[in-house]
Structure 1
Amino acid sequence: MAKYLDVHPDNPQPRLINQVVDLLHADGLIAYPTDSCYALGCRIGNKDGIDRIREIRGLGDEHHFTLVCRDFAQFGQFVHVNKAVFRLVKAATPGGYTFILPATKEVPRRLLHPRKKTVGVRIPDHVVTQALLAELGEPLLSSTLLLPDETEPLTQGWEIKERLDHAVDAVIDSGECGATPTTVVDFSQGEPEILRHGTGPADLFE
């Protein structure tokens, strides 16, 4: 059964954040809120967690996983960003965007798009997520919590607990979450290409 953690949206309790981070270090898989919608998350090196995310979501090999970073210092460790792209990304960050960029050698091969050698990265504007990332000290490997054959992500922690009780190790609830995934912008070819319209206004990149 999954742990159910009721975390304050503005002042996350350190005790509860530490519990989640301990679980992540023990190769657990969590469902957690972001500034767009709920996501599934685990440590980058958690191969079992990655397989569990694929199974829950019914994902194939072409799926872009996302590295959810605390700040630009982490961001720059895992993707290559030139000055022009950096200026565009910085103008929209933190916020509801995921950027597809060429990965550095810090990213395990199994997380890369098999042909493009790219990975998704984002910096969220969410108090609870930022508290988790600060305590964890590394990015979270994430994917939108969108179940197979469903068109919208789940928005309520209690419902996620009911439906995924035996599939995840913890559910973080900090109040109702949004139902719109991030806007996905692909910079892998240099010029921005909108792959998905979502939370973040796309006109910045059109």
Structure 2
Amino acid sequence: MLLKLYPDNPNHREFRKIIDVLKDGGIIIYPTDTVYAIGCDITNNKAIQRIAKLKGTTAEKGNFSLICNNLSNLSEYAKVDNSSFKIMKKNLPGAFTFILPASNNVPKLFKSKKKTVGIRVPDHYIPLRIVEELGNPIMTTSIHDPDEVIEYTTDPELIDEKYKKDVDLIIDGGYGNNTASTIIDCTNGDFEVIRPGIGELIF
């Protein structure tokens, strides 16, 4: 199902449909401040496995991140020191994925031995509102192919054509970007850019 939802004039009742799909174990495609992404409720392991299969990997091996709507519950999912927290606070919401040491909750969510977790707080109304109404983060992975410039990463109708048989809901939030987030590794006591993207880090 393709659901049109524009950030400048959203229909709030439509968010209820999105939350119902997620709580029912569905997977969705939605816009962010970078590329379109695939997501699900992090508390539903079957949905996580579905996304992993769709990406041709497993929940244990896949590099999936969590979308949060703020940093207030960060300690539930990641171990963050003061310097990392300060950098995140300066740059979020924004087009960044911060890689942090995972809390003890993360291996339980992914049923794996994951020691790190990516954290995103995108500067985009739709995913922030979804997380707020859901009551917990969503697991996310972009549909962007970093090796090619592919039109379906930006056009919701082409995304729908490609993925409508694989996901339960596609949110049309207008055209997306074709460049992913900047990934910052914070696991070694430093801030290493391991993938340049849209975000320009402010220290």
**What SS does the aligned partner of 2:136 have?**
coil
The corresponding residue for 1:94 is 93
1:109 to partner: Cα distance: 3.9
Residues 44 and 140, structure 1, Cα contact 8 Å, conserved in 2: yes
**What SS does the aligned partner of 1:158 have?**
helix
Change (3 A) 1:122 1:113: farther
Change (3 A) 1:77 1:146: same
For residues 110-162 of structure 1, give each alpha carbon's deviation from its aligned partner in whole angstroms, at most 9, with x where no partner exists: 63884x60110111110111111111111010001135975557111111111
Residues 7 and 173, structure 1, Cα contact 8 Å, conserved in 2: yes
The count of residues paired between Structure 1 and Structure 2 equals 201
User: Separation in 1 of the partners of 2:22 and 2:81?
Assistant: 32
**What SS does the aligned partner of 2:38 have?**
strand
The corresponding residue for 2:63 is 64
The corresponding residue for 2:81 is 82
**What SS does the aligned partner of 2:177 have?**
coil
Identity %: 36
1:40 to partner: Cα distance: 0.4
**What SS does the aligned partner of 1:185 have?**
strand
Aligned alpha-carbon RMSD (Å): 2.1
Relative to the length of structure 2, the TM-score reads 0.90
TM superposition outliers: structure 1 runs of 4+ over 6 Å: none
Q: What residue ranges of structure 1 are gaps of 5+ in the alignment?
A: none
The corresponding residue for 2:167 is 168
Q: Spell out the pairing of 1:1-206 with structure 2 (5 A cutoff).
A: 3-59=1-57, 61-109=60-108, 111=110, 114=113, 117-146=115-144, 150=148, 152=150, 154-202=153-201, 204=202
User: Separation in 1 of the partners of 2:197 and 2:17?
Assistant: 31
Residues 57 and 146, structure 1, Cα contact 8 Å, conserved in 2: no
Q: What residue ranges of structure 2 are gaps of 5+ in the alignment?
A: none
User: Separation in 2 of the partners of 1:112 and 1:185?
Assistant: 25
User: Separation in 2 of the partners of 1:75 and 1:168?
Assistant: 28
